[in-house]
Amino acid sequence: MMVMLDLLLDLLLSPWVFVPLVYPGLVSAFALLLFIIWAERKMAGKVQMRYGPLYVLKPLGGIIQLVVDRIRYLFQEPIVPEEADAAAFVLAPIALFTACLLPVVVIPVGPEFYAFRSDISLLAFLALSSLAPAFTVAVGWASSNKFSLIGGLREGYLALAYEVPLVVSALAGAALYGTMDLVEMAEAQSSVWGVCLNPLAALVFLLLVYMETSRFPFEISEAESEIVMGPFTEYSGILYGLCMGASYVKMYALSLLFTVMFLGAWHPLPPPTGTVLDPILPGAVVFAKALAVMLCGTLLRAVYQRYRIDQALKISWHTLTPLSLASLALSALVGVA
């Protein structure tokens, strides 16, 4: 019996199971979802001179407000409209959520603790993360509602607009270290972080992360005041919980990538404590930095209004794409020196 337990423990702690399941995978994503939306509402409240959610758990400032919202979604009646295509209506949000969470598998946790390593792991990440807009369009089409159709199509427009410069600026980041393997990239940043080498690529990448996950200045596919909730208008209950969580999880994945590529993944390396947690400690540093990036992303909700879709497209095509090409040239220069 004890042998079985050890075997199970080893299996759980082995990278192939631990990474997708616990750290950068499912459990941390859900925990983060609960925390980040609460943090967003509290920060927006602070900026707007008010409390934000409080009386749920008064001593801790209402930190479990999102747990309460999730419980309500859980017990709410999931309505499937007749004229909607029932199968697509239910499966599309699930596919959307997984498509947003999938790229996280590629992120290395520690110098020798990773689930997936190859010399083109950056391209694998970008390929997986470009699946999500397709499912958003499917969500928009499946709920057969004019507003959600428009929302889905808008997501389609935006997907084209932000994928191209995103890939170019990511390649610019990779060109700094001459490799596409995330682990080598992390190792190469031990002395100086990627941001100092090529700040332009970092800035463009960050802006596009906000556009991809419809953060505030570019919250266009689910623009509240024009097309009610965008593609997610017809969803209620836990299906809506999934859809709303999907954009936050995609932001989680992209900010992890941003940390690994530009913010010096796990440097400065925490001292080894010799316990079984030893390989996972660098992951905690990466998680902390990714969390910081996400918090300032969610603060934008309290600061900015919303662009029109043609203005957002003009911004991405006219300014961000040339900028990302310039960053590619800059990193070639820096790489050589």
Partner 1 sequence: MSEAEERTIELLIGPQHPASGHMRLVARVDGDVVVELRPDIGYVHRTVEKLAEVKTYLQVVPLVERPALADTANHNLGYVLAVERLLGVEAPPRAQYLRTVLAEISRIHSHLYGLGILGIMLGSSTAFMWCFNDREPLIDLAQELTGARLTYSYMIPGGVRRDLPPGFAERAEKVFRYLERRLKDYERLYFRNPVVRARTEGVGVLTREDAVRLGVVGPNLRASGVAYDVREADPYEAYPDLDFHVVTREEGDCAARMWVRVDEIRESMRLVREALSKIPDGPILHERFSKAIPPKWREWMEEKRRVKIPAAMVSLRIPPGEALSRVEAARGELTFYLVSDGSPNPYRMRMVTPSFRNVVLFRHLIRDCRVADIPAIYGSLDYFPPEADR
Partner 2 sequence: MVCGLAGTVMVGELERSARSASRWLVERTPLRTLRDWGTAFSLWPVHFTTACCGAEFAAASAPRFDAERFGFLPFVGPRQCNLMLIEGTLTRKMARAAVWVYEQMPDPKFVMAMGACAIDGGIFWNSYNIVRPAEILPVELFVPGCPPRPEAVARAIIELQKRVRRGRW
Positions in the binding site for partner 1 (CB under 8 A):
44, 47-50, 146-147, 150, 216-217, 219-220, 223-228, 301-311
User: From CA 100, how far away is CA 25, in angstroms rounded?
Assistant: 11
User: From CA 115, how far away is CA 17, in angstroms rounded?
Assistant: 8
Q: What are phi and psi of 51, to 5 degrees?
A: -85, -40
DSSP-derived letter for residue 216 is: G
Choices 51-59, 101-109, 161-169, 200-208 (CB under 8 A): range interacting with partner 2: 51-59
Query: Closer CB to partner 1, residue 181 or residue 219?
Result: 219
Query: Closer CB to partner 1, residue 278 or residue 310?
Result: 310
Closest approach, Cβ 50 to partner 1, in A, equals 7
Structure-block tokens of residue 7:
């075997």
Choices 76-84, 122-130, 274-282, 315-323 (CB under 8 A): range interacting with partner 2: 76-84
DSSP-derived letter for residue 237 is: T
Query: Closer CB to partner 1, residue 191 or residue 225?
Result: 225
User: From CA 293, how far away is CA 192, in angstroms rounded?
Assistant: 19
Query: Closer CB to partner 1, residue 308 or residue 318?
Result: 308
User: From CA 334, how far away is CA 282, in angstroms rounded?
Assistant: 27
Cα separations in angstroms, 34 against 30, 66, 216: 6, 5, 19
Closest approach, Cβ 134 to partner 1, in A, equals 21
Answer for which of 15, 62, 152, 283 binds partner 2 (CB under 8 A) is 62
Closest approach, Cβ 266 to partner 2, in A, equals 34
Range 194-253, binding partner 2 (CB under 8 A): 224, 228-229, 232-238, 240
Answer for which of 45, 111, 279, 335 binds partner 2 (CB under 8 A) is 45
User: From CA 326, how far away is CA 200, in angstroms rounded?
Assistant: 8
Cβ atoms within 10 Å of 227's Cβ, excluding its own: 22
Say how many residues make up the chain. Answer: 337
Q: Find tokens 């859809």 and name the residue.
A: 243
Answer for which of 3, 4, 50, 268 binds partner 2 (CB under 8 A) is 50
Report the interface residues with partner 2, using CB under 8 A: 41, 45, 48-56, 62, 65, 68-80, 86, 90, 224, 228-229, 232-238, 240
